[in-house]
């Protein structure tokens, strides 16, 4: 498991920008900070993938260069993941992408959160490295539901779960329910979920802060 806040890096400034209520009134800045975290976590994740060495030709000479063995497939859980996804696809810029509409029903508490699954548009994933972008890993239920739906498109080789902030309850839920090999790439692990299944201290509602409140 990789956690950005374990390290001294500029990524901590971007995470602070996402969390700090005095900076949250700027939607462009919020989305850009989410995108930056997507980019930085993608870079860290990229070190775990397999590469081939091949020879390229510069204007002056031949030289060896490393190339990804195969491009991962990026899956974004709508809608909060869109800016985070943009950061990931900025780095894996030739990847196939898929989109999932899975959201929790309003008014439910942590213990009774129900996931409404409404949309899947994803490529074949058989034998592929999957990058699943879920910026706020709260209960983990929409993530597990998303993976179950994705399995209609094949069985992946490996799943990289990328989140800006995760709750311990969500990480436990993945451990007991995912049933496939996975790696975690996280901005931070926070303290807990509150009674409405929001991450505490967290940052609030990532979808609303990026795009405005839902009606
Ligand atoms: O705290 C949370 C949990 C889920 N989704 C969010 O946007 N925030």
Series of mean pLDDT values for 10-residue runs along the chain (215 residues)? 96 98 98 98 98 98 97 96 98 97 68 77 96 97 93 95 98 96 97 97 98 93
Residue range 52-96, pLDDT digits in tens: 999 999 999 999 999 999 999 999 999 999 999 999 999 999 999
Q: Residue 63 Cα, ligand 1 centroid: separation in angstroms?
A: 47
For residue 37, the model assigns a pLDDT of 98
Hey, whose CA ends up nearest to atom 8 of ligand 1? 205
Atom of ligand 1 at shortest range from CA of 205: 7
Start-to-end Cα distance in the chain: 37
For residue 114, the model assigns a pLDDT of 75
Cα separation, 212 vs 205, whole angstroms:
10
Q: Is 133 exposed, middle or buried (0-12, 13-18, 19+ CB in 10 A)?
A: buried
Q: Which residues line ligand 1 (CB under 6 A)?
A: 80, 136, 138, 198-199, 202, 205-207
For residue 215, the model assigns a pLDDT of 86
Residue of 80, 170, 202 best suited for mutating to test ligand 1, as the one with most atoms within 8 Å of CB: 202
Contacts of 110 (CB under 8 A, 6+ apart): 139, 169, 193, 194, 195, 196, 197
For residue 118, the model assigns a pLDDT of 83
Going by their DSSP bridges, the two strands 158-166 and 129-133 should be labelled as parallel
Q: Residue 121 Cα, ligand 1 centroid: separation in angstroms?
A: 23
Q: Residue 36 Cα, ligand 1 centroid: separation in angstroms?
A: 18
Q: Is 60 exposed, middle or buried (0-12, 13-18, 19+ CB in 10 A)?
A: exposed
Hey, whose CA ends up nearest to atom 6 of ligand 1? 205
Cα separation, 21 vs 114, whole angstroms:
28
Q: What is the ipTM of this complex?
A: 0.96
For residue 117, the model assigns a pLDDT of 80
For residue 96, the model assigns a pLDDT of 98
Contacts of 77 (CB under 8 A, 6+ apart): 100, 101, 102, 132, 133, 134, 142, 143, 146
Element (H, E) at 187: strand 182-189
Q: Residue 206 Cα, ligand 1 centroid: separation in angstroms?
A: 6
In eight-state DSSP terms, residue 207 is H
Residue of 206, 211, 212 best suited for mutating to test ligand 1, as the one with most atoms within 8 Å of CB: 206
Comparing CA positions, the residue from 129, 125, 113 lying closest to residue 199 is 113
Buried b (16+ CB within 10 A) or exposed e, 98-130: bbbbbbbeeeeebeebebeeeebebeebeebbb
CB 131 within 8 A of CB 72: yes
For residue 142, the model assigns a pLDDT of 92
Atom of ligand 1 at shortest range from CA of 207: 7
Q: Is 11 exposed, middle or buried (0-12, 13-18, 19+ CB in 10 A)?
A: buried
């Amino acid at each position: 498991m990789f956690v950005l806040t374990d390290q001294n890096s500029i990524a901590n400034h971007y995470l602070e920008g996402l969390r700090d209520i005095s900076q949250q009134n700027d939607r462009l800045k919020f989305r850009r900070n989410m995108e930056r975290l997507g980019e930085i976590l993608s870079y860290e994740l990229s070190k775990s993938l397999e590469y081939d060495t091949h020879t390229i030709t510069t204007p002056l000479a031949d030289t060896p260069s490393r190339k990804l063995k195969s491009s991962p497939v990026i899956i974004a859980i709508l809608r909060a993941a869109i800016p985070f996804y943009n950061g990931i696809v900025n780095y894996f810029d030739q990847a196939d992408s898929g989109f999932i509409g899975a959201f929790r029903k309003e008014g439910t508490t942590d213990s009774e959160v129900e996931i409404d699954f409404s949309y899947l548009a994803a490529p074949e994933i058989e034998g592929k490295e999957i990058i699943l972008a879920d910026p706020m890993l709260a209960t983990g239920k929409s993530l597990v539901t998303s993976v179950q739906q994705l399995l209609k498109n094949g069985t992946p080789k490996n799943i990289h779960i990328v989140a800006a902030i995760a709750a311990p309850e969500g990480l436990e839920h993945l451990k007991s329910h995912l049933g496939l090999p996975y790696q975690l790439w996280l901005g931070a692990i926070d303290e807990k979920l509150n009674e409405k299944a929001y991450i505490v201290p967290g940052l609030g509602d990532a979808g609303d802060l990026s795009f405005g409140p839902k009606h």
